[in-house]
Amino acid sequence: MNQHVTLIATAAMGLESIVANEVRQLGYDVKVENGRVLFDAPLSAIPRCNLWLRSADRVKLLVGEFEATTFEQLFEETKGLPWETFIDENGKFPVSGKSVKSKLYSVPDCQAIVKKAIVERLKLKHGIVSRMPETGSVYKIEIALHKDRATLTLDTSGKGLHKRGYRVGQGDAPLKETLAAALIMLTNWNPDEPFIDPFCGSGTIPIEAALIGQNIAPGFNREFDSEEWPFLHQKVWNDAFEEAEDKANYDQKLNIIGSDINHNMIKVANDNSLEAGLSDLISWKQMQVKDLNIREHNGYLVSNPPYGERIGDKKEVAKIYNDLGAIMQNNPSWSVYILTAFTNFEKEYGKKATKKRKLFNGFIKTDYYQYFGKRTV
């Protein structure tokens, strides 16, 4: 099958431009919308995007879009789509759904109607008289309704793309790998420069930095639902994995440090880096931020420190930010990037940010404070 398809790389709010840049770097023209990046591409883009996209949540294959204000319209339009092109006669195809500001607001009813329409189409096209067996590969279908427009997609990823496969342990509020990667890609860090995360928790930011630093595809050590789809020939996947292996720069030396006050988190971070195969690239240290000692010039500090969400923690968190600010202002050649929901961060840090960007950490509204260092020779 050599045809082109329309793919959708879904993105967390505020990260659409980052995801779009990643897709462009893979060689595809994009259209950016709220929460998603659309692009037409050959089938080979499915494994390539799943392997390489660091900040996207999922890669979905667009089967069809249409207006739907009645259940009959939803059924007929769904049945008219070429499902047999993608789903084989033994395919298992669960249907999930969501509806926002649409006349068809009952999601369970919409799911049932879409399922019935696809079953009728597949039985007709595959020549099946009895029930669909649904014993083969999994094709997760989503019906998404927004302002009476229906979008039907196949999820090519399976587990979300933040599931890199290296997290064997985590803390109470782990940063998603996709957001951690985006935080790094929003800087100008290059692998030859020092990199520090003094609030590393389970190590997500330093590990993502190491993957970026050695140009390792983030999906290289995991599986995807679409690997089992018959219409995506094994050669397409083999070529994508071979490309990822060829592009990795395992000889790139890195100077990455992750530290945390909690010795248990340092053990978890080290275990995660071992699972990722990066333990020899990252130095893990148990220490307080006030003991941070910076020796090199022109480095990058990227971190997601505590927010002080509980009232009793606010004074302690303010002191942490104050200590960090005092240290970093004595190291003006360093660039500092801090993601936090702490509203008085700039006051406690002691300096107004060069630039701020609004991002969401899960459902928490945060600001990404960016301080650009004055580089020295």
pLDDT lower than 70: segments of the chain: 1-2, 309-312
Domains of the chain, CATH where assigned: 4-155 (3.30.2130.30), 177-219+255-371 (3.40.50.150)
Q: What HEC string does the chain produce?
A: CCCEEEEEEECCCCCHHHHHHHHHHCCCCCEEECCEEEEEEECCHHHHHHHHCCCCCEEEEEEEEEECCCHHHHHHHHHCCCHHHCCCCCCECCEEEEEECCCCCCHHHHHHHHHHHHHHHHHHHHCCCCCCCCCCCECEEEEEEECCEEEEEEECCCCCCCCCCCCCCCCCCCCCHHHHHHHHHCCCCCCCCCEEECCCCCCHHHHHHHHHHCCCCCCCCCCCHHHHCCCCCHHHHHHHHHHHHHHCCCCCCCCEEEEECCHHHHHHHHHHHHHHCCCCCEEEEECCHHHCCCCCCCCEEEECCCCCCCHHHHHHHHHHHHHHHHHHHCCCCCEEEEEECCCCHHHHHCCCCCEEEEEEECCEEEEEEEECCCCCC
pTM, whole model, 2 decimals? Answer: 0.95
The pLDDT value given to residue 348 = 97
Distance CA 123, CA 127 (A): 6
CA–CA gap between residue 245 and residue 239 (Å, rounded): 10
Tens digit of each residue's pLDDT (9 = 90 or more) over 112-136: 999 999 999 999 999 998 899 999 9
Q: pLDDT tens across 194-253, in order?
A: 999 999 999 999 999 999 999 999 999 999 999 999 999 999 999 999 999 999 999 999
